[in-house]
Structures are given as C-alpha cells and as structure tokens.
Amino acid sequence: MDAILAELLGDAKPIAIVVGILGSLALCYPWVRKQLREISDGDAIRTAADALRKELGELLDKEQARVATLTTALEEASSQVRGLRAENGSLQADIAALRREVRAMVRICLSMRGAMQRTVDTGDCSPLRLWPDLNPVEPEPAPDRPSA
C-alpha cells in the first residue's frame, strides 16, 4: 500500500494525503448531505406516519364505540316503535268498538226521545210501556269470591 501511495504521490509529503482526503470529502459533501437528509426525512416521515396511525386508530375506536351505542339505541327505539304500533292497533280496535256502542246508544236515545215525544203529544203511555219489554235490563253477574 505504501508503494502505491509513494508511486502516486511521488516525493509529496503527508500534507498532500491530507489535502487529497479533504478534497475528496469536499467533493463528496453534497452527496453525503443529501443522503443524511433523506435518512432524516425518512425517519421524520415514519415518525409522523406512526403518530397519524395512532391518532386515526384512536378516532376509529371512538367512532366504533359511538356506532355501537347508536346501534343499541336504534334497536331499542325500533322495538319500542313495534310495541307502540301493536298497542296502537289494539287501541284502534277498542275505539272502533266504542264508536259502535256510542252509535247504538245514540239510536236508543233517539228512539226513546221519539217515544216520549209521542207520549207527550198523544197522552198515550203504551210506547213507554213497550220499551222495557223490548229492552230488558240484564242482571249483572255476581263477582266471584275466592274461597277462604
């Protein structure tokens, strides 16, 4: 190795070697700097990507928890709506039955009024006597008493 250096440098002193090394470093400096910057940028990008992944993961977890909560609330509301619809159907049936009863009672009241008006006009009570025969009073059933 010394022979090769002696052949290349000739009678040059070690200062030439130092100057040669410094010159090559000066020529290589832009390339070395670029490589170090790329390494630094790559590390920064990896660090930022990891931080973003972590933050997005946390946001995703929060959103998934919110979706689960909303899904549960929606299922509860849906079951309540189904229950209310069933109750509404039975209430509508009850309302229809009550309307029929009210219509029947109105017809009875109107016929009683007509009979009373005829009685007042004619002085004849026979239509009123006929009324209890046509509409007998139904006895109310006695309540069942539990045996003691």
DSSP per-residue string spanning the chain:
-HHHHHHHHTT--HHHHHHHHHHHHHHHHHHHHHHHHHHHHHHHHHHHHHHHHHHHHHHHHHHHHHHHHHHHHHHHHHHHHHHHHHHHHHHHHHHHHHHHHHHHHHHHHHHHHHHHHHHHHH---HHHHHHHHHSPPPPPPPPPPPP-
**Tens digit of pLDDT for each residue in 95-147?**
999 999 999 999 988 988 888 888 888 888 776 777 677 777 777 766 666 65
In this predicted model, what pLDDT tens digit does every residue of 58-99 receive, in sequence order? 999 999 999 999 999 999 999 999 999 989 989 999 999 999
pLDDT value, residue 78:
94
pLDDT for res 124 = 80
Phi, psi for residue 135 in degrees, rounded to 5: -125, 80
Residue 127 in contact with residue 118, Cβ under 8 Å?
A: yes
pLDDT tens digits for 4-32?
766 666 666 667 777 778 888 788 888 87
Predicted pLDDT of residue 23: 84
Taking the C-alpha atoms of residue 39 and residue 31, their distance in angstroms, rounded to an integer, is 12
pLDDT for the residue 8: 67
Q: Which residue has the higher pLDDT, 101 or 48?
A: 101
Reported pTM? 0.41
Say yes or no to pLDDT of 41 above 70: yes
Q: Which has more confidence, 97 or 33?
A: 97
Structure tokens at 22: 């410094």
pLDDT of 146: 60
